[in-house]
Amino acid sequence: MKKVAVLFSGKGTNFAHIVKTLHKQECEVVFALTNNPNAEGIAIAQEYAIPYGVVEPKNFDSREAYDAVLVETLKRYSPDLTVLAGFMRILTPTFTEQVKAINLHPSLLPRHKGLNAIEKSYEDVYDEGGVSVHYVSSELDGGEVILQKSIAKKELSFEAYDKEIRAIEKEALREAIMLVLKEGK
């Protein structure tokens, strides 16, 4: 069974979806890591007895030093794929050149890279918005897109749009994980 590591920073809702729909079925989540000691996703790792770690950026002198520790930590678990599921860090080549990773982003890339993508997407001139799953590169939200899912924005309030985005991102992430693991890229 293919092994997956998941990195998250907050509530862990996408991490939870991965665990509930894929763990010990299509792949094994062998490790979870967060940069936030107060991340709610830690409880998910505990509930499912998934080994996890907390590595706080404030304890490092540089982004590269932080990323080197991430890489060494992940290597202990030998994941076939690392999934960034709401991991709020820009990673350096120290990480991106050594770890096969994918990232979920809540816009149709290349539109709206970086923070506040849902808000920016909702307010832009396009009729539809959506989510992208892409390979992680050292360029912010700039790696090759694996798949995208879109929704029509017409007549949706921001709250309804946000809810739709959060619903489709879970399925997009699940599908992309399966696609990448099957392709073995």
- Whether 27 has a pLDDT exceeding 60, the answer reads yes
In this structure, are strands 28-34 and 52-54 parallel, antiparallel, or unpaired?
A: parallel
pLDDT tens profile 109-121: 999 999 999 999 9
pLDDT score at 131: 97
Q: Which residues in 72-104 are b (16+ Cβ under 10 Å) and which e?
A: eebeebebbbbbbbbbeeebbebbbeebebbbb
Helix (H, G, I), strand (E, B) or coil at 63: helix
183 falls in which pLDDT band (50, 70, 90)?
A: confident
> Looking at residue 5, what is its pLDDT?
98
Q: CA-to-CA distance for 132 and 22, rounded, in angstroms?
A: 19
**Between 136 and 138, the higher pLDDT residue:** 136
Interval 86-110: pLDDT, tens: 998 889 999 999 999 999 999 999 9
Would residue 23 show up in a list of annotated catalytic residues for this protein?
A: no
Does pTM surpass 0.85?
A: yes
Long-range contacts at 95-98 (CB < 8 A, ≥ 24 apart): 95/67, 95/70, 95/71, 95/136, 96/136, 96/137, 96/138, 97/138, 98/71
Give the mean pLDDT of 71-95. 95
Output the CA torsion 177→104→7→30 (10° steps).
-10
| Band (185; pLDDT cuts 50, 70, 90) | low
Between CA 169 and CA 177, with CA 171 as vertex, the angle to 5 degrees is 100
Token representation of residue 165? 């985005």
Q: Out of 23, 105, 112, 134, which one is annotated catalytic?
A: 105
